[in-house]
A and B are shown apart, each in its own frame.
Chain A
Amino acid sequence: MKKEDRLESKNPMEGFLRMDRIPHIWCPGCGIGTVVTSFTEALKKSKLDLDKVAVVSGIGCTGRVAGYVKLDSFHTTHGRAVPFATGLKLANPDLKVVVFSGDGDIFGIGGNHFIHAARRNMDILIICVNNFNYAMTGGQVAATTPMEANASTAPYGNFEFAFSLPYLAEAAGATYVARWTSLHLRRVTKSIQEALAKPGFSLIEVITPCVTLYARRNRLGDGLNLLKYYYDKSVIEHGADTRTLDISYQGKLVVGKFVDKEKPTFLDRMNEHMTKILGDKYVKYGE
């Protein structure tokens, strides 16, 4: 066996990553890389033509994913990954467009775009890495920080209510909604695979450890301690009522697939509606 063919000398994700950009910038113990592994695994299993898969990220730690995947990949501005993806998808409907970004990017600064893309049932998959804080800038409080948790801009503890991402997504119109932690690698992979195969607006939330900031400031230990917390406190409840999925500080984590329903996408609706109204005069788009 030649040296380069030996398992330990070859990264199994090589075909999916820009190896010339590795090593990545993520901290030891961070969960983002785990989610990227699940994503590449799901791509492999889905047998999609990788030339037709595009990744759009915003800004933040997870925002760096676009820079590492060997696909058409776009590192955009803070909060605007979803509308950027909307334009990309509509301009080239053959693409499978995946937004890979963090909770601060998608649900803090970009929250309005998220609900509107969900409302329109835009055919994009959102993989949101939720680490409960703004990590890239040093661990500030976020729209997802559990009440009582400490953050660099909530030094006396967070007293605001947090978003429940699955509840928000379902209410806004998403057709596929799941939540996992980065401990549930196999489940994350399966969810991504399902969502990639499904037209429509999908959200997969993955709760991940931020060891350097969130865990350190809250004295929660290292990555392994957080995975232990996920192990102890997560409960799989497929189909759970999304109104019941709030996350309390170090409390129970209800995970699973909560929504999986059929609905025509934006482009389906556009073509169907315009054909109905304009008949032969309508120049069909993207078919």
Chain B
Amino acid sequence: MKKVKVDPKGVLTGSHYIDGDYAIAEGGLAAGCRFFAGYPITPSTETAERFSERIPHVGGVFIQMEDELGSIAAMIGAVWGGKKTMTVTSGPGFSLMMENIGLACMMEIPLVIANVQRGGPSTGLPTLTGQQDMMQAKWGSHGDYEIIALSPDSPQECFDLTIEAFNLSETYRVPVFVMTDECVGHMHEKVVIPPAEEIEVVERKWYEGPKDKYLPYKLDKDGIPFMVKAGDGYRFHTTGLTRDERGYPVINAECQSVVVPHLVDKIINNADKIIMLEEDEIDGAEIVVISYGITSRVAIRAVQQARKAGIKVGTLRLKTVWPFPEKRIKQLARKIKAFVVPEINYGQIVLEVERCAAGKAPAFHVPHCGGWVHDPNDILKVIKEAAK
């Protein structure tokens, strides 16, 4: 993994009062994204608008595609053309991208998709919040594969985690999702963008050996293959079919048994390096509230009140949602009385908590079907119930 300084043209150093959507665009530009293919969808559109306004001053391409299927296909093409690429979307658009997210996993493409979640299913609540795409982010495309998903809870973190998303995508050659939500996307807060020389990003893993020896899917020591770009004389081939080191299709169980474990293991085996958690008052806690995105900010109120009422409550915020912090949940499950998991859906991440806790500690869900954030009292009620 080679770290390099960023191109200062994309970095809007200073203190800004902007929303999460804008911060995502600024994070992408700062990280060196110079190709954005997108399709407008509420509540994410502002990211595309911001990028389209900024990119002519930075040098790069913004293209509004005909749909989200086109957006993600163009992004994968642009990565093979040598660019860092991103897009932004919400539920319905995320659904449309699923097939080519699978292609990106199979071709091992570094790219970033921000999903500013809204209430579903279907057209649902275009202008109102939700956290209902968390399982889709993990399982949405067909077949077995792994992706990385981050979940910012503020405009500042939208900026920071978008840069981190690019770094993770380049390190592991995998699509990375920034799973935020309408509240964070439309929330205006102070966002501090540091000077360009203080931002380091992960350089693409460029191949530098002899041209005729290049094998697109030969794994390097770290388990990640090298990349080249089209036009540099490698005359390589790549496909969405199960393939060998040369990138040639090999349609049999033996080859599948090499490719699929690789796509999964390169993420799972590095989970400790990928996972970012924020913990508060975990030591000695009897209840641990696990949350992510906007819900973690709403939960603070409930946690404070519960502490006032004498309940020992710790919090664990998932900045990385996928891969799931299985180890940490297992450790905690042995020590605490119960988990409380508020999220704006009918039970997604709570299922993972339950799986990892494996019966050692119960997980109490605080569901919400979307449209607004939780009433902190609803979370408080469940904390009290869990502490009984």
**A51 CA to B78 CA, complexed, in Å:** 17
CB distance from A119 to the nearest CB of B (A): 9
34-91 of chain A: CB within 8 A of chain B: 50-52, 54, 56, 66-67, 70-77, 79-80, 83-91
Q: B103 touching A76 by the CB < 8 A rule? A: yes
Residue from B9, B70, B238, B248 whose CB has the most chain A CB atoms within 10 Å: B70
Chain A residues near B229: list those with CB within 8 A: 92
Q: Can you name the residue of chain A whose Cβ is closest to the Cβ of B239?
A: A75
Q: Is B240 an interface residue (CB 8 A)?
A: yes
**Cβ-defined partner of B230 (8 Å) among A72, A79, A282:** A72
Interface range, A side: 35 or more
CB distance from B89 to the nearest CB of A (A): 15
Q: B61 touching A90 by the CB < 8 A rule? A: yes
Q: A54-B230, A88-B78, A91-B83 are in contact. Are A282 and B73 (CB under 8 A)?
A: no
**Cβ-defined partner of A83 (8 Å) among B57, B74, B99:** B74
**Cβ-defined partner of A283 (8 Å) among B35, B58, B241:** B58
Q: B60 touching A285 by the CB < 8 A rule? A: yes
Residue from A74, A76, A83, A91 whose CB has the most chain B CB atoms within 10 Å: A91
Q: A92 touching B82 by the CB < 8 A rule? A: yes
CB distance from B46 to the nearest CB of A (A): 21
Contact with A along B73-109 (1 / 0, CB 8 A): 1111111111101000000000000011001000000
Q: Is B375 an interface residue (CB 8 A)?
A: no
**A67 CA to B238 CA, complexed, in Å:** 8
How many A-B pairs have beta carbons closer than 8 Å: the answer is 150
**Cβ-defined partner of A77 (8 Å) among B58, B79, B240:** B240
**A91 CA to B34 CA, complexed, in Å:** 9
Q: A74 touching B77 by the CB < 8 A rule? A: yes
Chain B facing A: main interface SS: mixed
91-136 of chain B: CB within 8 A of chain A: 99-100, 103
Q: A86-B77, A90-B78 are in contact. Are A75 and B231 (CB under 8 A)?
A: no
Q: Can you name the residue of chain A whose Cβ is closest to the Cβ of B241?
A: A75
Q: Can you name the residue of chain B whose Cβ is closest to the Cβ of A18?
A: B237
Q: Is A225 an interface residue (CB 8 A)?
A: no
CB distance from A7 to the nearest CB of B (A): 25
Q: Is A160 an interface residue (CB 8 A)?
A: no
Contact with A along B222-244 (1 / 0, CB 8 A): 00000001111111111111000
**Cβ-defined partner of A91 (8 Å) among B66, B77, B103, B241:** B77
16 contacts between A and B (CB under 8 A): A51-B231, A51-B233, A74-B230, A76-B76, A77-B73, A79-B69, A83-B71, A83-B74, A83-B77, A84-B76, A86-B73, A87-B79, A92-B229, A95-B81, A95-B231, A285-B59
**Interface, chain B (partner A; CB < 8 A):** 9, 35, 37, 56-61, 63, 65-67, 69-71, 73-83, 85, 99-100, 103, 229-241, 248-249
A-B pairs, top 7 by smallest CB distance, nearest first, are A91-B81, A87-B77, A87-B74, A283-B59, A75-B239, A88-B77, A87-B78
